[in-house]
């Protein structure tokens, strides 16, 4: 029996991904020993100032990541910073490489390439006085951006690293009462399972919200009544999926208009503009947002699970700020 040939290598296809701000920080150490550390610290190595040269080499290394690793996307980096911190108790230099830009793909490999270039330069300049050098602890410290947001290495960050880099997660919604409403004649009749509502629930519960769900048929009356009731019950956020297209039963915007006290048109505009990076069909969406009563924010998104996932990635960073504004609370 013939063994199937392995699939060919290929770059990840990011053409339909939405550009987002990306940041990654990598960290590692050179252990130089007492003699090497003293010469490095005092900037008296034979080849020159290793700390200064490591900064230059690290920046160059980050920019060359796609030349070194064939499946990396070439990226026009917007920011690279190399930071060398002396650690006398270990006779070590702890090196950080921070990389940032707005792009469709992450910059982890660029941060790691810059880190390694900086560490190898320290090694090269220090080895004439101390050949027994070691590189240790090289890893990605954290990354930000994209659909998954903030990721932290399981070993974590110490207080100084957190204070310096301030990794940014989406603001949380701890304990905020949220209602997720799916609008679908067929799903409400049991013809198929609702996948859109659960996709929104996963994101909102991940932010700490207290979420309950409702499944309604399309049309104006069911949604208008549900929104008015939610506002009267003190629900802070209602996320609706479905009913925002151009079909004859896509009436979610009309239902919202019936009970809205103030429109928030920018959220719908943001969704369409950002989603158009995935598909031009986003411009046909009637996604919308408004306040119902004094303090309930209602957001209407399309009904496909993919659109909901994309919409939550776009809007999640704004939700806590928006709800604080609605409540008249202090907000950054």
Contacts of residue 118, defined as CB under 8 A and 6 or more positions apart, other chains included, come to 54, 55, 57, 58, 61, 82, 84, 95, 97
CA distance 126 to 84: 14
210-216 β-sheet, strand order: 210-216, 177-183, 237-241, 296-301, 288-292, 260-263
List the Cα angle 204/207/211 in 5-degree steps: 40
Counting every residue written for the chain, the total comes to 332
Q: Is 158 known to be catalytic?
A: no
Q: How far is CA 173 from the centre of its chain?
A: 16
Catalytic residue from among 2, 124, 218, 250 = 124
3-class DSSP assignment, residue 280 = helix
CA distance 292 to 43: 65
Which residues are catalytically annotated? 124
């Amino acid at each position: 029996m013939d063994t199937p040939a392995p699939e060919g290598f290929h770059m990840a296809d990011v053409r339909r991904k939405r550009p987002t701000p990306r940041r990654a920080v990598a960290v590692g150490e050179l252990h130089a020993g007492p003699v090497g550390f003293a010469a490095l610290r005092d900037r008296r190595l034979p080849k020159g100032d290793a700390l200064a040269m490591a900064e230059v080499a690290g920046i160059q290394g980050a920019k060359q990541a796609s030349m070194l690793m064939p499946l990396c996307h070439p990226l026009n980096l917007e920011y690279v910073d190399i930071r060398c911190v002396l650690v006398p108790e270990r006779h070590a230099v702890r090196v950080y490489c921070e990389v940032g830009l707005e792009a469709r793909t992450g910059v982890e490999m660029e941060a790691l390439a810059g880190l390694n270039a900086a560490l190898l330069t320290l090694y090269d300049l220090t080895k004439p006085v101390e050949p027994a050098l070691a590189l240790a602890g090289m890893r990605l410290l954290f990354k930000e951006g994209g659909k998954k947001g903030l990721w932290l290495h399981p070993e974590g960050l110490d207080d100084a690293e957190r204070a310096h880099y301030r990794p940014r997660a989406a603001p949380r919604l701890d304990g905020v009462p949220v209602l997720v409403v799916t609008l679908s004649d067929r799903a409400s009749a049991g013809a198929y399972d609702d996948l859109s509502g659960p996709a929104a629930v996963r994101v909102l519960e991940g932010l700490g919200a207290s979420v309950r769900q409702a499944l309604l048929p399309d049309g104006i009356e069911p949604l208008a009544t549900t929104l008015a009731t939610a506002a009267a019950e003190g629900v802070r956020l209602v996320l609706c999926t479905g009913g925002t297209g151009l079909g004859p039963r896509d009436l979610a915007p009309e239902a919202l208009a019936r009970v809205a006290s103030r429109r928030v048109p920018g959220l719908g505009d943001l969704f369409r503009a950002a989603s158009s990076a995935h598909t031009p069909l986003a411009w046909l969406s009637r996604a919308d947002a408004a306040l119902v009563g004094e303090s309930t924010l209602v957001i209407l998104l399309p009904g496909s699970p993919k659109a909901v996932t994309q919409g939550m990635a776009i809007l999640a960073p704004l939700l806590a700020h928006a709800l604080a504004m609605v409540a008249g609370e202090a907000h950054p």
